Chains A and B, each alone.
Chain A
Amino acid sequence: MQTFDLEADGLRALNETLQAQVQTTNETAWDVINPRGSHAIAVGLDAPIEVTVNGSTGYYCAGMNQQATVHVKGNVGPGAAENMMSGKLIVDGDASQYAGATGHGGLLVIKGNASSRCGISMKGIDIVVGGNVGHMSAFMAQAGHLVVCGDAGDALGDSIYEAQLFVRGSVKSLGADCIEKEMRPEHIAKLTELLEAAGMDADPADFKRYGSARQLYNFNIDNAY
């Protein structure tokens, strides 16, 4: 286990050190202390390492992640796991706005609540939220899965493409072209897998599925102003 004191050694040194880890590194476990809400902690990683951040972070924690598992023992600021390609970000607390934005792959687990625009323009990432998500979540979501164990705010899945949304609680309102869809056995199976991967204790049978009505895919003259 390597320990890195962010306050003493600085952000640039941390990210350079973590980004320099190669596929076959033996130094697979990293402990970051004194994060103190700093921005861009553990961004751009590309090795199968495990990074534990002991405290809350600012903007863009674990952005552009590939392969690495980042575990934040606190809250994360805006844009956590933005554009993640693979690997994992696990957040013990809450996430601020646009968590998992534009993510292409990997798993983002938020044990608390996520605020507005969670999973905006997601492109293949899987996001599991233990609590609620704020307004405009999964806006223009293209691929991947968003699982919400609590409630969803206004305009869920507005202008959604082919991402699949699962919500256990209430949905304040659905966005344009987002509708409730039938929960078929393959969806139950996928949801079971995601909940298990995220370590969430929830019954897949309690969830509803939402997705695209596919009415915005082609130009419709009646929608023109």
Chain B
Amino acid sequence: MCGIVGLFLKDKALEPKLGAMLTDMLITMSDRGPDSAGIAVYGEDHEGRAKLTLQAADPALFNGLAGEIEDECGVAVKLRMIDTHAVLDLPEDKLAQVRGTVKYLRPDVRVMSAGEVIEIYKEVGLPGEVAKRFDIPELTGSHGIGHTRMATESAVTTLGAHPFSTGADQCLVHNGSLSNHNSLRRKLAREGVTVETENDTEVAAAYLTWKMQEGATLGEALEAGIDDLDGFYTFVVGTKDGFGVVRDPIACKPAVMAETDQYVAFGSEYRALVNLPGIEDAKVWEPEPATVYFWKH
């Protein structure tokens, strides 16, 4: 199974409520995925600034990290710790350098996301508990994606939880299972793309990243995925200014969308959408198979 929720706000007045709305949707999808949960939120864009979201099994690894980065890179960074995650706020032009430095200083710390506005939080546990640990209801932003996982293809671990980062300000969540992820993982390895876990979705994320490095747009990468990814999937992808949806040609993994003047919303089930404002009068529909949908600000 697995549950997906997504919310893309058109009405700026709703932005302070994004985290709360997404959390409510996410918790509704708990029975579709009670073993782990994750959320990607796209926050306010500060000119010239970027963010790195880090994760550590032992949060003590974050102690003193900001100072050490400053010593190594000669640049001031702000570190905000939240449970097992930390968000580094830094100058945009130093993002690659700081990312490399973090890897060097703390090899056991993982990068959840990198970009100008994205933050990704994910952990093992019931969706409601995960949201509480990371204060997700307090987050503001223009759009976000959430996932509740019922693991089928790999272990229940933090790194096996969704969303998966696919590049700067990009992420992917998945409901389904891919059947050719092992051969695709080997193909990507030959192209120099490393995949950290045994998880099938991480391979899909790496595939999209690789396609885009080869020059494809996200839309083109998703179109190519319809041919190259074998298995069942409903994917929701997030980008800096929008989000997209694509389902495999068989389309047995559920998907419901709703649109009003205020938002576009995605849910694995209609239940996830029932508390959204004005849902009674929203345009509600099921996305077509093998069709890429995209909304942008």
Residues of A within 8 A of B (CB): 36-38, 56-59, 75, 77-78, 93-94, 96-97, 115-116, 134-135
Contacts and interface: CB of A to CB of B under 8 A. Distances in A.
A184 to B, nearest CB: 35
Given A36-B271, A96-B286, 18 more contacts: A36-B274, A37-B271, A37-B272, A37-B273, A38-B271, A58-B271, A77-B254, A77-B256, A77-B269, A96-B256, A97-B252, A97-B254, A97-B286, A115-B286, A116-B250, A134-B288, A135-B251, A135-B289
A94 B256 CA distance: 11
B285 A94 contact: yes
Contacts of B20: none
B26 to A, nearest CB: 15
B269 A94 contact: no
Q: Which of B250, B274, B284, B288 has the most CB of A within 10 A?
A: B274
Nearest to B272: A37
B286 A94 contact: yes
B283 to A, nearest CB: 11
B271 A97 contact: no
Contact of B254 (A36, A78, A94, A134): A78
Q: Which of B252, B270, B271 has the most CB of A within 10 A?
A: B270
Q: How large is the interface on B (under 10, 10 to 19, 20 to 34, 35 or more residues)?
A: 10 to 19
A65 B122 CA distance: 42
Nearest to A59: B269
Contact of A75 (B249, B270, B271): B270
B31 to A, nearest CB: 10
Nearest to B251: A116
Contacts of B272: 37
**Interface majority SS (helix, strand, loop, mixed), chain B:** loop
B232 to A, nearest CB: 13
A171 to B, nearest CB: 16
Contacts of A37: 269-274
B149 to A, nearest CB: 20
A154 B272 CA distance: 29
Contacts of A58: 269-271
Nearest to B254: A78
Interface in B246-286: 249-252, 254, 256, 269-274, 284-286
| A-B interface, 6 closest residue pairs, ranked by CB to CB distance from nearest | A37-B270, A37-B271, A36-B274, A115-B286, A56-B270, A37-B274
29 contacts: A36-B271, A36-B274, A37-B271, A37-B273, A37-B274, A38-B271, A56-B270, A56-B284, A58-B269, A58-B270, A58-B271, A75-B284, A77-B254, A77-B256, A77-B269, A77-B270, A93-B284, A94-B285, A96-B256, A97-B251, A97-B254, A97-B286, A115-B251, A115-B286, A116-B250, A116-B252, A116-B289, A134-B251, A135-B249
Nearest to B286: A115
A56 B270 CA distance: 8
Contacts of B284: 56, 75, 93-94
A115 B273 CA distance: 19
Contacts of A135: 249, 251, 289
